[in-house]
């Protein structure tokens, strides 16, 4: 089972309507849940294992400006991958997400990519700084990951978010504690404030999808 339906309703938080939010979350998150549940029931009945291949996004891994609904839904899909991989392991069902980056109707409006996508449509290849540096290519470049994850070669691959795009194949990390501090007897707001910048808060995590590095820009 591959869950690949998706829509966009991009707006900043203070302009996003309930309808914008619900449409995207219903399509991406509830749609993935509903289809995967039906597949899991059938695969368990058959007793021969199987593969659930969900479609994530870099926005779900790192957030993205103007995409509250989309980023939240894709982050939820990543969480479902990890959860379902545990729940379905005994049935021999693997659960993974692909995190594709490709020139599609959803990405060709990104200003930094637009001229290169137009050139590609005219038969010119995408430059290496996109295919390798940004991991950005065509939808066909992402396709091989699906049959791999569904094959016997990937029977031991489950609970993973795997990025693919252009010439790049990558494994996304799972969230985990980046740094830890301790205080005997527990913490107060004041002791947290005193310790923050010299302990757990000294190297805060970055957010957002890094801007493309365009040569000469």
**Is 57 designated active site?**
yes
> What distances in angstroms separate CA 71 from CA 169, 184, 209, one per listed residue?
21, 38, 11
Helices (H), 88-138: 114-121, 128
The strand pair at 168-171 and 161-165 is best described as: antiparallel
From the list 200, 163, 156, 145, the residue with the least C-alpha distance to 178 is 200
Catalytic site residue from 74, 85, 116, 151: 74
Kindly state the tokens that stand for 70.
Answer: 């989309």
State the Cα–Cα distance between residues 119 and 84, nearest whole angstrom: 41
Kindly state the tokens that stand for 35.
Answer: 């289809």
Catalytic site residue from 51, 70, 85, 116: 70
Catalytic site residue from 51, 57, 85, 116: 57
Residue 41 parent element (H or E): helix 31-46
Longest dimension (CA), the chain: 66
Q: Point out the residues that are catalytic.
A: 57, 70, 74
């Amino acid at each position: 089972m591959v869950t690949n339906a998706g829509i966009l309703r991009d707006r900043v938080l203070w302009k996003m309507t309930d309808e914008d939010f619900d449409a995207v979350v219903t399509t991406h998150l509830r749609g993935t849940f509903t289809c995967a549940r039906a597949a899991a029931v059938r695969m368990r009945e058959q007793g021969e294992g199987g593969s659930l291949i969900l479609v994530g996004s870099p926005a779900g891994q790192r957030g993205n400006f103007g995409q509250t609904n989309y980023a939240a839904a894709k982050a939820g899909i990543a969480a479902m991958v990890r959860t379902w991989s545990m729940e379905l392991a005994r049935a021999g069902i693997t659960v993974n997400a692909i995190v594709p980056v490709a020139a599609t109707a959803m990405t060709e409006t990104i200003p930094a990519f637009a001229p290169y996508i137009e050139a590609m449509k005219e038969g010119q290849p995408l430059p290496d700084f996109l295919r390798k540096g940004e991991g950005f290519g065509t939808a066909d470049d992402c396709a091989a990951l699906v049959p791999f994850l569904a094959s016997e070669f990937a029977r031991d691959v489950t609970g993973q978010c795997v990025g693919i795009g252009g010439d790049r194949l990558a494994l996304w990390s799972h969230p985990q504690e980046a740094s830890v501090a301790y205080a005997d007897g527990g913490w107060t707001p004041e002791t947290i404030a005193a310790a923050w910048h010299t302990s757990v808060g000294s190297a805060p995590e970055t957010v957002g999808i890094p801007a493309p590095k365009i040569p000469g820009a």
